[in-house]
Amino acid sequence: MKGPASGQGWQQQTARMGFVATLPFAAARACVLEKVTAARVPPATEEVDLDDAAGRVLAEEVTADRDYPAAARSIRDGYAVRSADLPGRLRVIGEVRAGEAFPGEVGPGEALEIMTGAPLPRGADAVVMVEEVTRDGDTIRAPAASVGRHISPQSCEARRGEAVLEPGGRLGFAELAMLARVGKARVEVYRRTRVAILATGDELVAVAAQPLEYQVRDSNSHSLAAQVRRAGAIPEVLPVARDSHAAMRELLERGLNSDLLLISGGVSAGRYDVVEDVLAGLGAEFYFDRVEIRPGRPTVFGRAGNVFFFGLPGNPVSTMVTFEIFARAALELLGGQSEAALPLVLARLTGEVRHQPGLTRFLPARLSLDGAEVAPVRWHGSGDVFAVARANSWMVAEAERGTWQPGEQVRVLVR
């Protein structure tokens, strides 16, 4: 439990919150997915122009408006032929290029010069590439070609009326190309999720301030806002909450008017870590308040009324990590996505790694450009933002092991 370190205050908080679980990493993430999926309702929708749809979550089924391709077409520059005539010499009767159709028909002993993307003429059932033939005036000599060679058949990509995009997917450049291809100039998407961000702590000062030696600039509000935007939502940064029950309650109540509340700091076991106590007083339900990971062990997840909240540890690296592995998933599901995946890849470790078993650790690392290798980045704990800025990923050190040797395959969380 968190809150007052001992005595009556501790007992009061324990009674108000009840038992709160400590979970391993996989169980904690599964808890987030289960609770949010069970409770969410589809967000409101809006229609946007195609060019404004990038990064949004699709809210409608999209179907093909015709066969794709609408007619069989060549996928190579060459000659449209009858496969039964080959190998042999053929007479060239003309040409056809993309954007036009040949009005005639390829008969016995004939060939039609054809460009990539052009529709296959009647009578032809194969295409031989220009590199495969020898041309002499209006005749060519071509090798054998099987039926359908270098041809995309009609409707091989999609049939008219077939669903080509389902609701709940995030729209990237490939999806926008699909929407354009089927004539969707406007598309229905889910409204962006509003995420309240509340940094806590008497030691925090504004970025533009000159901190005293016992103060630090508030970086968590800015890193969390960037992570929220990257996840497709709208951040609403609240004023920093000071470590008193009255100040904390006022700002937590404001934050609970959003779709999701992210709190950084105030969730550890110190005397002035009052976030959970105040949330309990607001009738919050807590699903877990500690996870067997590092950094980020004192992570809290719960619900107050209809709003889910995360209490993220105040150290900046802990805040970044716990957002990516827990809060981002909740945000994506609340925003209408049908699933929330964790971007883990396997890479070959370049250096030895040692740690104390028992906790799943997320260690700053640099993934090579080709994604084949990962190198640990030296760091000095969960306050070391400088190390994380030099890194581009986190190596995942499993709780059951204490040592990894160079050359071993390890999981990497892509940043």
Q: Are residues 405 and 379 in the same domain?
A: yes
Decide which of 100, 129, 152 is a domain's last residue.
152
Statement to judge: residues 219 and 111 lie in one domain: no
pLDDT classification of 407: cutoffs 50, 70, 90: very high
Do 325 and 289 share a structural domain? yes
Domain assignment present for residue 242? The answer is yes
Query: Which positions ≥6 away from 187 have C-beta within 8 Å?
Result: 47, 48, 50, 53, 56, 58, 60, 62, 171, 179
Domain containing 323 — which CATH number? 3.40.980.10
Residue 119's pLDDT is what?
A: 98
Among 172, 190, 208, residue at a domain's last position: 190
The pLDDT of residue 270 is 58
Rounded to whole angstroms, the Cα distance separating 195 from 177 reads 30
- My answer on whether 249 and 354 are in the same domain is no
- Identity (one letter) of the amino acid at 74? S
pLDDT of residue 9: 43
pLDDT at residue 399 tops 80? yes
Q: Say what the alpha-carbon torsion angle 391, 393, 398, 401 is, to the nearest 10 degrees.
A: -40
Instruction: Count Cα neighbours of 190 within 13 Å in the Cβ-side half-sphere.
Output: 28
Residue 369 in this model has a pLDDT that exceeds 50: yes
Q: Can you give the CATH number for the domain in which 363 is found?
A: 2.40.340.10
Rounded Cα distance between 149 and 276, Å, is 67
The whole-number pLDDT of residue 21 equals: 87
Residue 367's DSSP bridge partners are 374
Q: Do 91 and 103 reside in the same domain of the chain?
A: yes
State the total domains in the chain. Answer: 4
Q: Are residues 325 and 196 in the same domain?
A: yes
Query: Is the confidence at residue 15, as pLDDT, over 70?
Result: no
The percent of residues in the chain predicted with pLDDT above 90, rounded, is 90
Kindly report the backbone phi and psi dihedral angles of residue 119, in degrees, each rounded to the nearest multiple of 5, phi listed first.
Answer: -70, 145
Whether 5 has a pLDDT exceeding 50, the answer reads no
Structural domain containing residue 325: 7-43+191-334
Q: Determine, yes or no, domain membership for 309.
A: yes
Identify whether 248 is part of a domain.
yes
pLDDT tens track for 183-237: 999 999 999 999 999 999 999 999 999 999 999 999 999 999 999 999 999 999 9
Q: Is the pLDDT of residue 115 over 50?
A: yes
Cβ(171)–Cβ(57) below 8 Å: yes
Q: Which residues share a beta bridge with 248?
A: none
What is the CATH classification number for the domain harbouring 51? 3.90.105.10
pLDDT range class, residue 18, cuts 50, 70, 90: low
Q: Distance between CA 197 and CA 314 in Å, rounded? A: 12
Q: Is residue 111 domain-resident? A: yes
Residue 226 belongs to a domain: yes
- Residues in Cβ contact with 3 at an 8 Å cutoff, skipping those fewer than 6 apart: 9, 10, 13, 273, 274, 276, 277
User: Does residue 339 lie within any of the structural domains?
Assistant: no
> Can you say whether the dihedral through the CA atoms of 35, 36, 40, 42 is positive or negative?
negative
